[in-house]
Amino acid sequence: MSTTPELTPHLQELYEVVLRRNPGELEFHQAVLEVFESLTPVARKHPEFAETKVLERLCEPERQIIFRVPWVNDRGEVEINRGFRVEFNSALGPYKGGLRFHPSVYLGIVKFLGFEQTFKNALTGMPIGGGKGGSDFDPKGRSDREVMAFCQSFMTELYRHLGEYTDVPAGDIGVGSREIGYLFGQYKRITNRYESGVLTGKGLGWGGSLVRKEATGYGTVFFADEMLRARGESFDGKRVVVSGSGNVAIYAVEKAEQLGATVVACSDSGGYIVDESGLDLDLLKRIKEVDRGRISEYAEQRTGASFVADGCIWDVDCDIALPCATQNELDEQAAITLVKNGVRVVAEGANMPSTPAATRVFLDADVLFAPGKAANAGGVATSALEMQQNASRDSWSHEYTEERLAGIMRGIHERCAASADEYGAPGNYILGANTSSFVQLAEAVLALGVI
């Protein structure tokens, strides 16, 4: 393995330990390295963190749970999936993070997401720790009965590890309000408790929060808008490209349009659409949220729109790029293309959608770049607001909840910007996010003793 020049000898040694202890978990390795590359100035200022092995503790999950999920499909056949919950760190509060149901899920993915979640949750300033979970089950193409059967089996094992003061999952890719409903129903049945705060992303009629569905996408745009405002600009009149067409992407489109931008493209796993007149949000929502259809159907129903099968959405020129699909979707060549075509802002709505090489391209080109742990923290922040409402048996208005979300995202931007300034890299939101969240976590870890 080649030495990473950005790391101090101590950080390099620790990174090699992480590689040895977690073989084959490439996404986790990438997430750890991305944080380590920011910590040299912190290490110089706070030698006590190295002496007390704080970072070693933060790289090791407090608990990793892997379990079998047997269930019966509509043909009467038994199917077996694998379930995961990685309770990464609870120094700041109960574990908090989503569940992902997708064939790509394995331990390395869940650990990467849990590690990122720990730092992301710290940035919100709210009392929540980091965790993540999921399964290699694919809900796509399954009937409601099959999804229910799987969710009930999944929760039958997972419930014993959860609690509103212990571990509070939410949704992620493949886990929406339908899945959360089935999961919560099984938890309630097994425990005989209506413990609303044990899951977030619930339906509005049974303990959910307004703005939760919109929160990650809205928050991503709020953060990008704060970066623009710091340079005396705004979304108004900007040309925007959003990858993905799931929950995060749809509501990033909605908020960007509300702020005066023209969103011209979005995508799914089959390709991408371009609509130069601006995406028809109502049509997009109907196809993806109601019909559960493919993005190609948008071009079939919208005059003037075109569909590109299996293409790269980052070939579409834009002022602002919002990657909202999945990890490592935006590589170095795509970043070079975006810069060549004049991109000025990139804000990550997904978790680690840009490869390390891509982020270096953006930083070298002086593109405003917001890492996912900062830009997409609006989802988990609003989940914490949902927990507050559940704890107080209260329900807030849409306007008040969105106002709280916007304030949280402003606070995250201010913390990232201030930390980047403090550690000698003004405007570097990657370094700002990593250093700010790390210092907060490190101080909490030390305060709680060796546990």
- The two tokens of residue 427 are 């405007």
Beta-carbon contacts of 371 under 8 Å, excluding residues fewer than 6 positions away, are 34, 348, 352, 359, 429, 430, 433, 434
Single out the residue of 338, 351, 214, 370 nearest to residue 281, CA to CA.
Answer: 214
Beta-carbon contacts of 175 under 8 Å, excluding residues fewer than 6 positions away, are 98, 99, 100, 101, 134, 139, 201
* SS3 state of residue 296: helix
> Binding site annotation covers 120?
yes
Q: Please say whether the beta carbons of 347 and 429 come within 8 A.
A: no
> Binding site annotation covers 449?
no
Nearest-angstrom CA–CA distance, 337 and 264:
17
Q: Please say whether the beta carbons of 358 and 329 come within 8 A.
A: no
Nearest-angstrom CA–CA distance, 57 and 422:
25
Residue with tokens 């929502």: 285
Residue with tokens 């393995």: 1
Single out the residue of 2, 6, 5, 3 nearest to residue 428, CA to CA.
Answer: 6
Sheet holding 306-309, edge to edge: 306-309, 271-274, 262-268, 239-243, 320-323, 345-347, 368-370
Nearest-angstrom CA–CA distance, 35 and 30:
9
> Binding site annotation covers 247?
yes
Single out the residue of 35, 87, 130 nearest to residue 444, CA to CA.
Answer: 130
> Binding site annotation covers 188?
no
- Active-site annotation holds for 202: no
> Binding site annotation covers 171?
yes
Q: Cα 440 from chain centroid?
A: 20
> Binding site annotation covers 435?
no
Q: Which of 111, 132, 213, 373 is catalytic?
A: 132
- The two tokens of residue 429 are 């939101």
> Binding site annotation covers 260?
no
Question: Which residue spans within 269-351 are E strands per DSSP?
Answer: 271-274, 306-309, 320-323, 345-347
Binding residue numbers for NAD(+): 216, 247
Binding residue numbers for substrate: 96, 117, 120, 171, 383
Catalytic residue ranges:
132
Binding residue numbers: 96, 117, 120, 171, 216, 247, 383
